[in-house]
């Protein structure tokens, strides 16, 4: 056991199943849960509320960095594995807005800004507390917790991920279509993987799981076997 609280890092692209895996692990081991994607999504929502146009060709990096630094957020666990957190921005419940596909696209834009990433760094590390943390994101194993005890990188084909996102969102995000989601996932992959600031990639010591042809139960069996071997 390390001196600091143990960390299980779960990274991967949108729709890879990492949210389900991270929630399951946090529940099983009663670890804290960091949904770092939600933080970037909240920066996007806060920016829109402040009247910042995130579709503009060039973004005001200083202003967005400051906004991320001053972000007043609260994560409230619900105990519901389907929707594990209520997300608050300055006290207001913005969970549905944060989970929309549009918020994912905005998040991917603000996440490419190094100053935004720097602003969220200490906040993310502050989630590391006993008895341990499951950290879900894109750069948990590479940048935020490079000394994580277990690093998992989950991936799947863009088609499979679009279909999963569609099934998650169709009841909540009116007007969402499979076709649009597929293109939005491809665009986000491209932006998240090719950006200079902490690009999405597996850590050298990550255990990579391609879940395209696996059920969520098979993925969980693999992950639990790995965590048990490394941590318990």
Binding site for ligand DC (CB under 6 A): 14, 36-37, 40-41, 104, 107-108, 111, 137-139, 188, 192
CB of 229 to ligand DC, least distance (A): 25
Nearer to ligand DC, 187 or 225 (CB): 187
Q: What is the 3-state secondary structure (H, E, C) of the chain?
A: CCCCCCEEEEECCCCCCHHHHHHHHHHHHCCEEEEHHHHHHHHHHHHHHCCCCCCCCCCCHHHHHHHHHCCCEEEEECCCCCCCEEEEECCEECHHHHHCHHHHHHHHHHCCCHHHHHHHHHHHHCCCCCCCEEEEECCHHHHHCCCCCEEEEEECCHHHHHHHHHHHHCCCCCCCCHHHHHHHHHHHHHHHHHCCCCCCCCCCCCEEEECCCCCHHHHHHHHHHHHHHHHC
Give me the least distance between CB of 37 and ligand DC, in Å please: 2
Tokens of 145: 């917790």
Distance CA 101, CA 108 (A): 11
Min separation Cβ 131 and ligand DC, Å? 22
Please report how close the Cβ of residue 160 comes to ligand DC at its closest, in angstroms: 15
Which CB sits closer to ligand DC, 14 or 211?
A: 14
Q: Which is nearer to ligand DC, 50 or 193 (CB)?
A: 193
Report d(CA 120, CA 209) in Å as an integer. Answer: 27
Which residue number, 135 or 227, has a Cβ lying nearer to ligand DC? 135
Residue nearest to ligand DC (CB): 37
First to last CA, the chain: 9
Given the complex with ligand DC, which of 29 and 127 has the nearer CB atom? 127
Residue 3 or residue 196: which is nearer to ligand DC going by CB? 196
Q: Which lies closer to ligand DC via its Cβ, residue 193 or residue 225?
A: 193
| Residue 173, token pair as written in the block | 């995000």
Question: In angstroms, what is the minimal distance from the CB of 14 to ligand DC?
Answer: 4
The distance of closest approach from Cβ of residue 155 to ligand DC in the complex, given in angstroms and rounded to an integer, is 13
For the bound state, the minimum distance from the C-beta of residue 77 to ligand DC, rounded and expressed in Å, comes to 17
């Amino acid at each position: 056991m390390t001196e600091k609280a143990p960390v299980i890092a779960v990274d991967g692209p949108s729709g890879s199943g990492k949210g389900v895996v991270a929630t399951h692990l946090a529940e099983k081991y009663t670890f804290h849960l960091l949904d770092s994607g939600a933080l970037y999504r909240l920066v996007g929502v806060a920016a829109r509320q402040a009247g910042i146009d995130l579709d503009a060709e060039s973004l005001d990096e200083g202003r967005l960095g400051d906004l991320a630094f001053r972000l007043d957020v609260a994560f409230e666990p619900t105990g519901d594995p389907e929707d594990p957190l209520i997300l608050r921005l300055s006290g207001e419940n913005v969970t549905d807005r944060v989970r929309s596909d549009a918020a994912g696209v905005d998040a991917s834009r603000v996440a490419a800004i190094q100053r935004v990433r720097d602003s969220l760094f200490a906040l993310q590390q502050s989630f590391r507390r006993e008895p341990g943390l499951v950290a879900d994101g894109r750069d948990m194993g590479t940048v935020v917790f490079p000394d994580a005890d277990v690093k998992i990188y989950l991936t799947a084909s863009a088609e499979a991920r679009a279909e999963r996102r569609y099934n998650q969102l169709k009841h909540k995000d009116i007007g969402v279509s499979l076709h649009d989601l597929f293109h939005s996932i491809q665009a986000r992959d491209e932006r998240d993987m090719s950006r200079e600031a902490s690009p999405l990639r597996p850590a050298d010591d990550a255990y990579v799981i391609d879940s395209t042809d696996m059920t969520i139960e098979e993925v969980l069996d693999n992950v639990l076997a790995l965590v048990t071997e490394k941590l318990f």
